[in-house]
Each structure stands twice: as C-alpha cells, then as structure tokens.
Structure 1
Amino acid sequence: MIQFIKGIIFSIDEEDILIEVGGIGYHVFVPSRIFPQDKEAGDEILLYTYLQIREDQWQLFGFPQKEQMEVFRLLISVSGIGPKLGQAILNHFSYQEVISYILAGDSKGLSQAPGVGKKTGERLVLELREKFKKLDDGKETSNNLSPGQDTALNQDCVLALTQLGYSAPEARSACMRTSNALGPEADTQDLIKGALKLLGKF
C-alpha cells in the first residue's frame, strides 16, 4: 500500500491534484477544504494516502495530516460510506469535529454533512464510537478532546452558541478549544465565555 506521497504539484483542480514523483504523475483526490491554501503548482507537498483498489480502477485519496487519513479510513469502514462520501464529510467538518460528534453520540450533528442522512449518522456513531475512543487515546486528537472530558458541558456550550446564531461546527470547535485551554475545572459558563472570546464576540 502507498502510505504517503511526497513530490511536486504538477496541477491543481477543484477536488484533485497531480503530483510528480520521479517523473511519474500521481492523480490524488484531496478535499478542497483541507488542501493547504498556500500550495500551488511547482510547490513540494507531502500527502498521507489511502489507495482504493477496484477491478476497473485504482484511486488515491490524500490528506495533509495523518490524523485526517486515519479518520477517513475509519469512516469508510462503515457500511454504505464510500471514499467519496468519506471525503465529503471531511470537506464539511474538520477531523476533530467528526471525532467530537461521534464521541458525543451526536448523529444529528453529523447529518449536516452532504450525503449523510439521519440513519447514516446513527450508523456512524454506533459503529465508530468505540473505535474513535481508541484513536483519540494518546494521539494528537486528544489536544482537541480529552478522553475523560465531560461532553455534557461541551454540549451545553454548543447549544448556547447555536442559540446565539453560530453554526454547530463553528460552535463545537470553539467549545472544544476552550475546554482544552481551561482544563477539567471549567464549568459551562466558563466554556461559553471562553468560546465567545475565541469567536471575537465577548
């Protein structure tokens, strides 16, 4: 399996790029949201990759961060979630937000992604919650959501921010970052106040 590709960007399209490595061009699908905005044709890039092999074609899916690729692989392990839908989810949410929604059992939040309905969101939570707990344990993702963190406080924080007009992903990201910064002693009011500061509204 191709674990990663490091080479020169030959061309960039909306959802895929062509990377030249040793005179060979590799076509790699990359969600537009996570593609480094400072990269352009002629720049060097390293992408962690997932290779999908089918009878009629081979496809490479690339991610700037290893954690993004790991979350992608877990997403597409769920029945009914193919690589295109997995990429669509990561094009709508950050990988931290995907982990947060699943650990919190928030299938409704997941259903905001294009192509993810209510049943698909519930299936993602059911099949991945335990796997994501293991993924979260001791890795970089724990900087965004600690394994022992009280998710009820985060849920209250997210609810308060969404009632103020913020989108769920925006609210969740701000609450997670605030919780990580303030630590386990912070209560709901502390989280809300800190999240509003991050969002520049306090």
Structure 2
Amino acid sequence: MFARLRGKVANKSVDRMILDVGGVGYDIMMSLNTYNQLPENGEEATLHIHTRIREDAFDLVGFADLEEREMFRLLLGVSGIGPRVALNILSGLSPAELVDTLMRENLASLTSISGIGKRTAERLIVELRDKVKDLEYGLNAQEAAQADRLGETLKQLQSALINMGYKAATVEKVATMLKPEVEDGVELGELVRLALQKMMKTR
C-alpha cells in the first residue's frame, strides 16, 4: 500500500493525473482542490495517497495535504458515499470548509454540490458531525458553530422578554448581563427567570 508518492507531473486534468516516479507512471485520481495546488507538467510534486484495492482494479487517490486525505477517508465511511462522490465533495469544499459546513448543519452548502441531494446531505451531517468536531483544522468551525448557538439563544431570550412587554433597550442590557449563563448552557426558561429577577432589581 502506498502512503506517499513523489515524482514529476507527466500529465494532469481536473480529476486525475499521471505522476512519473522513477520512470513509472502512476494514474492517480484527485479532487479539484488538489489539482489547483499541483505544479506545471514536468515539475516535481508530492502526493499523499489513499490506495483502493478491488477485484478488478487497483485505484490510487492523491491529495495535496493530509487533512484532505483524512476527510476523504471519513467520507468513505458514510453509507452510500464512494470515492468519486467523496472527491466531488472535496472539489466543492476544502476540509476546513467541510468541517464548518457539518458543524453548522448547513444543508444548503452541501446540496449545492453536484450529486448531493437533501437526504445524502442529512446523512453526512448525522454520521460525520461528531467525528469532525475535534479535528484541529476544524477548530474555527467549532467556535463559529458555538457562537451561532449562543447568538440564537440570546435572540430567543430577548424575544421572550419583549413579548412580555419589556422595552427592547432594557431587554438588550439584561441579555448582555446574562451572556456568561448563556455560554454555560443554562436553559432558556431559567434564563428568562434570571432576566426577570435582574429587571426587578433595577427598577
């Protein structure tokens, strides 16, 4: 099994290339993301390799970086996702962007990729969301997803208080005061109770 190949780019197209390693040409599939990082024909390139052995074929899939190969392998673990579909996904989204999309449960971003319908997108989110949350290159995505959740909770809190007849300026001030509780994951009902207590004290 090959883990990495280094050689000269003999020929390349948007989805595969021939890498000349010591006079032997390796036919390698790849994503558009990797294609965009390849040097010109005749120049040297290094690819991280995923080897796929079947009864009738011996396929090599190449990646410009380890993060993309790791994400490719995670995608292959999802029911109904084969190598070509996985490469298609990675052609539309970089590994970091894909982590961000999964953590945000962004169906629109996934279904914008050719060949990915709503059911497949939902399956990708369900099966991969927990697996990608600890990836280092997904750290910003996790922070963004957490910020989204906090922002949504604050909006719900403010909406509940405004519907109870409190002025928007007062509600916004109290909601800001309760941000630490929101970050700690306090439930909405308890947040409303705490907000009412604070507003009574400030009267």
Provide, for residues 125-150 of structure 1, a one-character-per-residue CA deviation record: whole Å limited to 9, x for no partner: 0001111013x1xx2443x4345862
Show the counterpart of 1:70.
70
Aligned partners of 2:14 and 2:35 also within 8 Å: no
The answer to whether the Cα contact below 8 Å between 2:103 and 2:141 also exists between their aligned partners in 1 is no
Matched, 1:152 2:152: no
Give the superposition deviation at 1:35. Answer: 1.6
Give the C-alpha shift of residue 104 in structure 1. Answer: 1.5
SS at match of 1:150: helix
Distance 1:109 1:32, change over 3 A: closer
Q: From the superposition, tell whether residues 130 and 53 of structure 1 become closer, same or farther in structure 2 (CA, over 3 Å).
A: same
- Note the C-alpha offset of 1:62: 0.9
1:4-153 alignment to 2 at 5 Å? Answer: 4-37=4-37, 39-134=39-134, 136=135, 139-142=136-139, 144-146=140-142, 150-152=146-148
Distance 1:52 1:112 in 2: 28
For the residues of structure 1 that align with 2:7 and 2:21, how far apart are their CA atoms?
A: 5
Q: 1:152 to 1:29 in 2, by over 3 A?
A: same
TM value normalised by structure 2: 0.68
Larger radius of gyration: 2
- What is the aligned length? 152
Whether contact under 8 Å (1:104, 1:151) holds in the other structure is no
SS at match of 1:8: strand
Name the CA shift for 1:108/1:51 in 2 (closer, same or farther; >3 Å): same
Q: RMSD of the TM alignment (CA)?
A: 2.3
Structure 1 range deviating more: 82-91 or 23-32:
23-32
Identity %: 32
Task: State how far apart, in whole Å, the 2-side matches of 1:81 and 1:103 are.
Answer: 19
What is the identity, as a one-letter code, of the residue corresponding to 1:76?
L
C-alpha change, 1:69 and 1:45, in structure 2 (3 Å) is: same
Q: Secondary structure at the match of 1:145?
A: helix
Report the CA distance between 1:154 and its aligned residue. Answer: 10
* Counterpart contact for 2:7–2:19, Cα < 8 Å: yes
5+ long unaligned stretches in structure 1: 157-202
Amino acid at match of 1:102: L
